[in-house]
Every structure is written in C-alpha cells, then in structure tokens.
Amino acid sequence: MNILKLKYPFFIATAIFINSCTSQKSSHTGGKKPVISTKPTVPVVTPPKSENVKLNLPEVNREFRAAWIATVANINWPSKNTLSTQQQKDEALKILDLLKDANFNAVIFQARPSSDALYKSSLEPWSYFLTGEIGKAPAPFYDPLEFWIAEAHKRGMELHVWLNPYRAQHTTGGPITSESIVKKMPEQIIKLKNGMYWMDPSDEKTQNHVSKVIKDLVKRYDIDAIHIDDYFYPYKEYNGGKDFPDNRTWSAYQNAGGNLSRADWRRANVNKFIKRIHDEIKAEKSDVQFGISPFGIWKPGYPEGIKGSSQYDELFADAKLWLNQGWLDYFSPQLYWKNDGPQSFTSLLKWWESENTKKRHLYPGLNTVGLRDVSDRPTEIVNQINATRNILKNSAGTVHYSVDGLSKNAAMYNAVKNAYPTKALVPKTPWIKKAPLEKPILSVDNGKNALNVKWNSNDSQSVFQWILYTKYNDTWETEILEKNLTSRNLPFIKNGKKLNTVAIKSVDRLGNESDYEAKKL
C-alpha cells in the first residue's frame, strides 16, 4: 500500500509536461500547443510501501490489578446516602480515574451489600446506602451498576459484581421497612446479637433466592464476574460468641434422617451452594467469571506455624475444597497480614498456591487500608505485590482492600502506582473456551510529520482492548489501548530512531489476543 498519496491534479500536470516534450500536436488538445507551466517541476518520488510481514512480537505485560469498592455502611461509595445522582456519578468517576491513572485493570463493586440492590431489581429493594431509604430509587433516576459497568469498560477496566450471599440487614442499614428482605422472608432470617440479620445458609429457600439474584445479575448486566467474599456463616463475634441459631433447619435435617454432624451439614450446604452458583453462572454466560474471596486461613497449622481463626470451623467454609475442585475462576484469599508474623503473607500464599491443583487464578487480597503492626505500610504492600509476582510468576495479581487505602493515603497511592508502572492485560483464562477474535484491519498513511495509523475489527462487539506495537530501529514498544481508541499519529523519528514497523492486535474480555495485522514501512 502506498503510504504517500499523490494528488490527482499532480498526475495531470506531469502527463501534460511529458507529452509536450514529445509532440507539438495531440488528439487530446485539438491540435493546439499545450500550455507548459513555468513553475519548477516536482520530481516524482516513489513513497515507501507497507508490507504484510511475519513478526516476532514481544509479550505484553499481564497482571490482575483490582480494588474493592465497598458500598456497605457507605465505606467507599457513595460517601453518604444523601448525595444527588450527579454527586454519586462524580464520586464514581473520580474513583475510576484514580485507579486508571495507577494502571489498575479491574474494580470489584459491591452491588448487593445486604440483600438489597444498587441496581434496578425486581427481587430485592433499592439499598439504604444509596438513597437513605430502603426501596427508594435514585432521583433523577439512573442505574448505578449500569453506570459503573459502562464507565469501567470505557477505561479498559473489568467490572466484577461483589455481593454478600447471606447478610440480610447490616447494623448501619437503617430502619427495617416492608420493603426489606427481613420482612419478606421472615422464616429464613435470623437476628444476631450484634443487631445484624442473617439468612440461614442451610435453608433451601435462602439458596434459591440468592441463586435467582445472581442469575438475574448475570443475565441482565454486561458484567465480567460475580464475586462473593468471606461472609458465609457469620463470624461468632457477630452473635456474642454464641453458635449460629439455625435450630429450625438443623432439626428438619435430623428428622429427615440426616446423619452428618452439625458442622459437616453446614459445610455441605455451603459447598452445594458454591458449586450450584458456579454452574448456573456458566450456563447463563460461560465467559462470566466466578470469584471468591474467603478468609485467608483455611485452618490454623496450614501451613505449619500459622495461627489464627479457622474459616473451616467457624465460617463453615471449606474454601480449600472449592479451589481443589475448580468451582471458581479466581480465588482471592484475604491475606491481610504482614510477612513475618504468625499469619505470614508469603507462607499462606505459597500454601494456597500448592492447593491450586486446577490452576485457577490466585489473586491474594491485600490489606491496603489498615495493615497492622507495620511501621511503613506502603513499603509492606509493595513488598507483598512483588512477593506475589515471584511466587505466581506470569499469572500474578492482587486485590486491594479497599480503594480508600489508595484514595485517602497519598503515600500508599504513589507507592502502588510505582509498583504498576505500565498498563497490563489480565492473565489468560484458558479453561474458559471462547471463539477466537478476527484479525484486525490496519491502515497507514503519511502525514506531514507523522504516520497516521488507523485500525478496526469486523467483530468489534467482541473487542475489549487493543495492543499497538511500534518498532523504532530494532526496539519494540507496546501500548495497551481502550476499545474506543482506534487511531494514532506516530512520529517518524523518535529518540533518534526511525519507525519501520507497526502492528495491531485486538483483545477480548478474557485477555485473549487475536492474530496481529502488521505493516512494514
């Protein structure tokens, strides 16, 4: 393809000049002498050509970089439940821009903090944390989840919907009204001694209700993942140190001939629920991921020397089993401790990696907002990011709890931003099969001082990002671009080096790359 487009009038002028030198008459001039321009003639220059070539393109950087956005108790967003629609949007955009500028590529947004909704739902009421009243929609109306999805994707960031499966009412959730799930499903709800209301995880109606909520989210919204955290059965301190009062469902199980111990019965119900949710998500949309963020210790002593609470015995969550069985796409254990204490960060991460027999994504949760007993928290968090890279290699990733640790602490933000110096694609997810992307279409054209490069794709609906490759002399440069960026002006000379090759790839929502289209100049 000719890079330098010659203008049509120039061809005419050149043809007339050449013709006049060989003949005084022409059938095309009616026998009259052609007028010869007295202006100096411009020599015809053959422009450089671009060629389709086989290239050995450099590998692009990959790492999952996410932050939790907590809405319960107005922890992160919205900052108050009295904000206007525009103020809520402004706060959301500020958070997203902050993360984008630090080269994050995902947000984990709490859309269902306690059997309520920060989105339009026919199954559960609008959240008190959004409008200050259970069941009250924002006015002027908008759908916050829809807004967060669109704005995250616009910035090349994934949006994971975070929900608490069993919490029915938080202590900061305002007065209970007829709209509350506490009133609508009273038989399934248990009041704890700290004032919270909890759905009974072993009640089949609880499981069916949460299943409907998740399937509704997956079906109606353009989300990248469903994410649940560590609240299965509640922590004992929520109930004054007492056991969870599920006598009704436990008695029903025994009366039906059940012979498991109470603890095993609880775990079995949670296990069944996890497997069910995984399978239902995949049946609805196979490329939507399922992520779980459990408490970071499976049991004390695993690995040797680890002390602390037992998620297995207290929360009745056998998270090791879920990871062993591959009932999830990514696993983010909350490793909220420093590296050299009784809950060693690296020791726990190595142990979880040894249990990752199905090779799912392992993205540890970091306590960016409140790591204890550390004099220099930014340095410790960066050390944990680097330790994760060393242990997990090319499938590394971390999730930061929470965004306030970044937005309200300049030293932490700058340290993490320096740890993420360039953009990164998310690690590939090879166990989720997806049709390959078509090769992009690339065109190049000379400008005055730069090469004008444009690209697109015939299956643009499947494109999430682009990778632009440029080669100056023998040096390759790569740039990860948002979907809406489809052109670049590239300088011919950069740092004394000459541009000689351009290539483009498209990337889908799971980080899969297309074949490249390239032009050699």
Burial class (CB in 10 A: 0-12, 13-18, 19+), 487: exposed
506 touches 456 (CB < 8 A): no
2 in the same domain as 113: no
pLDDT of residue 52: 57
Instruction: Indicate whether 227 belongs to any domain.
Output: yes
14 in the same domain as 146: no
Burial class (CB in 10 A: 0-12, 13-18, 19+), 413: buried
CA dist., res. 480 & res. 144, Å (int): 27
Instruction: Indicate whether 425 belongs to any domain.
Output: no
Amino acid at 299: K
CA dist., res. 77 & res. 91, Å (int): 7
Sign of CA dihedral 295, 299, 304, 308: positive
Q: Pairing relation of β-strands 64-69 and 397-400?
A: parallel
Instruction: Indicate whether 433 belongs to any domain.
Output: no
pLDDT of residue 34: 41
132 touches 174 (CB < 8 A): yes
pLDDT per position as a tens digit, 361-412: 999 999 999 999 999 999 999 999 999 999 999 899 999 999 999 999 999 9
194 in the same domain as 132: yes
Percentage of the chain exceeding pLDDT 70? 90
Q: Provide the mean pLDDT of the chain.
A: 91
Least-confidence region, from 47-51, 82-86, 350-354: 47-51
pTM: 0.89
Instruction: Indicate whether 57 belongs to any domain.
Output: no
326 in the same domain as 190: yes
pLDDT of residue 438: 97
Instruction: Indicate whether 430 belongs to any domain.
Output: no
136 in the same domain as 176: yes
Q: Would the pLDDT of 321 be above 50? A: yes
The predicted model gives 477-494 an average pLDDT of 97
468 in the same domain as 320: no
Q: Would the pLDDT of 300 be above 60? A: yes
Of 468, 520, 465, nearest to 498 by C-alpha is: 520
234 in the same domain as 350: yes
474 in the same domain as 337: no
The predicted model gives 464-473 an average pLDDT of 98
pLDDT of residue 188: 98
Q: How many residues does the chain have?
A: 521
CA dist., res. 33 & res. 19, Å (int): 10
Of 231, 261, 259, 262, nearest to 245 by C-alpha is: 262
Instruction: Indicate whether 427 belongs to any domain.
Output: no
Between these two residues, 282 and 37, which has the higher pLDDT value? 282
> DSSP 3-state assignment of 324?
helix
The predicted model gives 466-480 an average pLDDT of 98
Element of type H or E holding 292: strand 289-292
The predicted model gives 103-124 an average pLDDT of 98
Residue span of the structural domain in which 73 resides: 64-419
Instruction: Indicate whether 360 belongs to any domain.
Output: yes
In the chain the first and final C-alpha atoms are separated, in Å, by: 10
327 in the same domain as 245: yes
201 touches 167 (CB < 8 A): no
CA dist., res. 220 & res. 17, Å (int): 67
331 in the same domain as 447: no
Instruction: Give the tokens for residue 462.
Output: 């499947």
How many domains would you assign to the chain? Answer: 3
516 touches 439 (CB < 8 A): yes
Instruction: Indicate whether 269 belongs to any domain.
Output: yes
Which CATH number does the domain housing residue 164 bear? Answer: 3.20.20.80
286 in the same domain as 154: yes
Q: Would the pLDDT of 21 be above 80? A: no
396 in the same domain as 448: no
pLDDT per position as a tens digit, 157-195: 999 999 999 999 999 999 999 999 999 999 999 999 999
Between these two residues, 294 and 18, which has the higher pLDDT value? 294
